[in-house]
Amino acid sequence: MSEEEALTNFARWEPPHGSFQLNYPWKHYLEIGKVTRQCAYRIEELHNCIISKIQGQSDFIKIIQDACMELSKESGITLQELSAAVKQMTYPKAAPTHIKNLKKTAANLKIVLKTVTLENANVLEDVMPGAMVASLLVDIVECIEDIAESVIELAHLAKFKGADLAS
């Protein structure tokens, strides 16, 4: 049992208080923690990949750079929105729009990857690091979708402010 789960089990024994009384959604907070950690692992892997493998500016990197930057930016905005929603106990009403933007941007990145020609490229040095970064970014989008689903579910169960309007 992880330390987080142990602390949650201890917290369940607290006397009822606040609007939750005996129905505090501990398991949903644990689920959000789990999917957030999975996302953080991929982000750290992305960071390590960028630091260690992409030194130069190959033609391939230049081609996918804008799409990767846009995907990174939109991912950050979405995660900030979800974080603020949990912290402030409000429904993340902008999250579905951000998720739609993430999916669209990820699809654009996939299109860019499919259209790239590899004529005079050194696959091992030029293409692989960039393709790995793009692949990790797409994985991160999937993790962010999982986080958004978990936060939205928590918002409904815990009756966050605005959740009743989003039904």
| Contact between 148 and 102 (Cβ < 8 Å) | no
Burial class (CB in 10 A: 0-12, 13-18, 19+), 11: exposed
* Residue 22 predicted with pLDDT over 80: no
**Pick the residue with more confidence: 144 or 50?**
144
Is pTM beyond 0.85? Reply is no
Each residue of 86-122: pLDDT tens digit?
A: 999 899 999 899 999 999 988 888 887 777 666 656 6
Beta bridge partners of 97: none
pLDDT above 90: percentage of residues in the chain: 32
> What SS3 state is found at 17?
strand
- Of 81, 64, 74, 70, nearest to 134 by C-alpha is 64
Q: How far apart are CA 26 and CA 43, in angstroms?
A: 26
Q: Cβ distance 95 to 85 under 8 Å?
A: yes
